[in-house]
Structure 1
Amino acid sequence: MIEVEKAVSSIEGQSSFLKPNEVLMRLTTAFTAFFSVFIATACVFASEVGLQDIRVFSIERGSALAVTIWYPSKGDGEPALVGENRIFEGTPASKNASIRTGRFPLVMLSHGSGSRVEGMAWIARVLAEAGFIVAGPNHPGTTSGDSTPAATPKIWERTEDISTIITALVSDARWQASINKDRIGLLGFSLGGSTAMELAGARADLDAYARYCDDYPAMMDCRWFEGGRGFVNNKQVTVEKFDLRSIDRGRFEQSNRDPRIASAVLVDPGLATAFSPESVKSIDIPLTFINLGSIGKIPVAVLSDRLAKQVPNAAYAQVDDSDHFSFLPICKQGAANFLKSVGDPDPICEQGARRSRADIHEELAILIRQAFERHAAQLDAKAWSSALLEGHLRDQARYSGCVASKQCSDRRFRHALQASGATSCRRSRRRPSRHRQRPRRSEQPSRQQSSQPMDRLKPGASPPARDFRGSSCRAGR
């Protein structure tokens, strides 16, 4: 839950106090940006990444959410740069392009505190090029220009934003035919990682979170609660210290699980020390945790290796020689000096002797794309094995009754059936036809021929078929 783009909001208010040479510098920057649009045009049409901005009404918020969608397109839209501002470079896309024919998995985005979904455009483009539809909102109360300490811990509002948008997209005629509703993932960064954790099934612990800030008052998120400044309507305002223990405990600790979300990738997730261990252990979807930084240099606020060990199906990776701000878009030349000149305390654009942000983005892009592809493969394998098993048993007449009632089991398939919800079985009895002729003794295979030991089978040979007529019919025996 680290602050990432509040500097952009504070910079917005500096324009009326610019000196003549600063005005010239801004005009030069604007002129350069103008030509960069033309240069980026070729990239837009080459990548064929479509872009649409929509609004989705939220009952929880009582207002409409601003949502940006990236998708595989036919490249017939207007060239655009997403997320370009005084500090960050933009990412090219093809605005209002026609969506490519097909059915694509959906990845929802949840940005960090004080940031915007446009700041995730660089990774959204990577995923759209890989065949994903990608969508995300600007979360009110925790976005650039609209962010206060009191609104920041209200994770339940963020989770409701994501669920509301999923409902809107899968029921909208413009998108429902293109979205694979069984393959909905979530990518969250920082406070967005907290959002992803809760949508996956984790529940926050208010006492644990308050103790964390008592123990680590110098952490960026805890300093934010000390008050001093906030942002409302794109203007900086003075705010008082916020007491974490004044949060609505019931809402802060409620379950926000959305069963439609099938997997998630979490980059430097906030509240890493403040989730109930029992709820984390009960998460039943694949997760991938990614930390930015070398061993020993990752802030405890987002260090998630322990979370990865608690989640039953989770992977963990870390990106060396990076930091929390490395996930943000690539900074423009001179941005670091400009941020210092306006008094911003965070090293948003400082690189030093470390890797370039572009290089870090390349590694992150590979990790995130492969994570979602791996999650999809796991889900496909699970669905395939479940369907294969059910089909196998359904085809056997003696099991038809219990398969239909979802209460069939067999020694060979016991574990798979238990995983798919089966509990016990009452085998349907089917007597053989009286008119079926038995083969003559001379035609019956000998016992020696049909009992070849498994360890004596030649490579590539199939084992002899088993007869399950004598098997137990109750799972767990």
Structure 2
Amino acid sequence: MFFRAVTLAFLLIAAPVVQAAGLKKIEVPADHTGQAITATQWSPCARPAKDIQAGPFVISGVRDCPVAGKNLPLILISHGFGGASLSHHDTAEALSDAGFIVVALNHPDDTLSNTERFHNRQALVTRATDIKRLLDYMLTSSPDSAIINPNSIGFFGFSRGGYTGLILAGAQPDFKKLAPPCTNEAGATCPDNTPQTVLLLPASQDSRVKAFVLADPLSSVFADPTSLKNISHPIDLWASQNGGDGVSPKDVLALAQNLPSPSTLHIAQNAGHFSFLTVCPPKLAEAVPDLCIDAPNFNRAAFHKDFNENMISFFRKTLSSERIE
């Protein structure tokens, strides 16, 4: 799934926030398994919210606020192609306000700042490993590791992030089903962007993750029902009615029919693929309408309110989420 560069979009996105959340930046050091990973962490916070300048973003929260509670569930967020840790910050903040620790990473091979992402599909191999390394860090090396319930780990992924969640859940992709090689924004064919470059996927299932919310996942590589046979944890699957950016509603519906685990399917009526991204301010909508402008009969802000509330309910049902004050 490749779309034209949206650097300006992600640098200017800012969504309204209703309540406070603790906010901090974290980094997973590089090791023999991969590059350094940067991420943003949200956590329950008892202090009044303030406006925080996080690069170009203004977020309501409290920087480095002491985490309120113990034995808290953890939700990991995986962005789509060319996204970033703040691409779904309204969802992260809603989850944090509801009592979850939330960590959204920048996938090194597939994030906004990596211009090489247009020239290869390496991220399809490394994404699940990124999540596993991040989870290792959060449960062992993070200063907050002692207050995380290791038996209450959830995952939210959008687009390629949804693909990442399926890999973590146990799916086995068939890269021969990928679309033809991409072209970059200058129109040049990506030279090494072929299925053969990403066939060697390491074993990536992670049984520590107990529940998944997947929005418009890249699912064409899971067309064979047997590719999903190892999935056993609950999945809450969301599909935009109109699709986009290489994600076909038909493929997502086929995925829903083939999932062997306890799963639910929601069709976001009148939504497009990018409707799952946080709300764009007017100037951004004017600058990048393909990313920000929805169908006339679709209200992204109202949808996100319902979407976030549904996600909170799902994780509360599927994870052991009791807080200890």
What range describes the TM-score normalised by the shorter chain of this pair? Answer: 0.7 to 0.9
Compute the displacement of 1:77 (Å).
Answer: 7.5
Report whether the alignment pairs 1:96 with 2:64. Answer: yes
Partner of 2:225: 277
Q: How large is the Cα RMSD of the aligned pairs?
A: 3.2
Of the candidates 254, 272, 281, which is equivalent to residue 306 of structure 1? 254
Which one of 196, 201, 207 corresponds to residue 176 of structure 2? 207
Share of identical aligned residues, percent? 23
In structure 1, what is the equivalent of residue 167 of structure 2? 198
Q: Structure 1 length normalisation: TM-score?
A: 0.60
Aligned residue in 1 for 2:307: 364
List runs of 5+ in structure 2 lacking aligned partners.
none
Match of 1:116 in 2: 84
In structure 2, do the counterparts of structure 1 residues 77 and 54 end up closer, same or farther at CA, with 3 Å as the change threshold? farther
- Asked if 1:247 is matched to 2:197, the reply is yes
1:146 to 93, 114, 119: 114
- Aligned pair partner of 2:272 in 312, 316, 323: 323
TM-score normalised by length of structure 2: 0.86
2:93 pairs with 1:131: no
Q: Provide the C-alpha distance between the structure 2 equivalents of 1:83 and 1:368, rounded to a whole number of angstroms.
A: 27
User: Over residues 231-274 of structure 1, what are the superposed CA-to-partner deviations in whole Å (9 max), with x where a residue is unaligned?
Assistant: xxxxxx966354423314222xx431011111111000013443
One-letter amino acid of the counterpart of residue 172, structure 2: R
Contact 2:77 2:102 in 1 (8 A): yes
- Find the structure with the greater CA-based Rg: 1
Is 1:289 matched with 2:226? no
1:226 is the counterpart of 2:182: yes
Displacement of 1:366 in angstroms is: 2.2
Deviation at 1:197, TM superposition (A): 0.4
The match for 2:128 among 133, 156, 159 is 159
Give the aligned residue type for 2:301: A
- Structure number with greater CO (CA < 8 Å, separation at least 6) is 2
Looking at structure 1, the residues matched to 157 and 142 of structure 2 have their Cα atoms a distance apart, in angstroms, of 27
The residue type equivalent to 1:289 in the other structure is L
Structure with more of its chain in helix, by fraction: 1
Question: Secondary structure of 1:155's match?
Answer: helix
Instruction: Count matched residues.
Output: 318
Instruction: Establish whether residue 174 from structure 1 lines up as the match of residue 143 from structure 2.
Output: yes
Equivalent residue of 1:188, what SS? Answer: strand
For residue 282 of structure 2, give the secondary structure of its aligned residue in structure 1: coil
**How far apart, CA to CA, are the structure 2 residues paired with 1:303 and 1:367?**
23
In the other structure, the counterpart of 1:16 is none
- Against the structure 1 CA distance between its residues 354 and 91, is the aligned structure 2 distance closer, same or farther, given a 3 Å change threshold? farther
Inter-partner Cα distance in structure 2 for 1:150 and 1:121: 27
Select which of 52, 64, 71 maps to 2:24: 52
Q: CA deviation at 1:276?
A: 4.5
Instruction: Show CA shifts across 1:305-356 (max 9, x none).
Output: 22222222111111112111111121121323323xxxxxx71122352222
Shift of 1:195: 0.5
Distance 1:289 1:60, change over 3 A: farther
Structure 2 vs 1, CA of residues 82 and 314 (structure 1 numbering), >3 Å: closer, same or farther?
A: farther
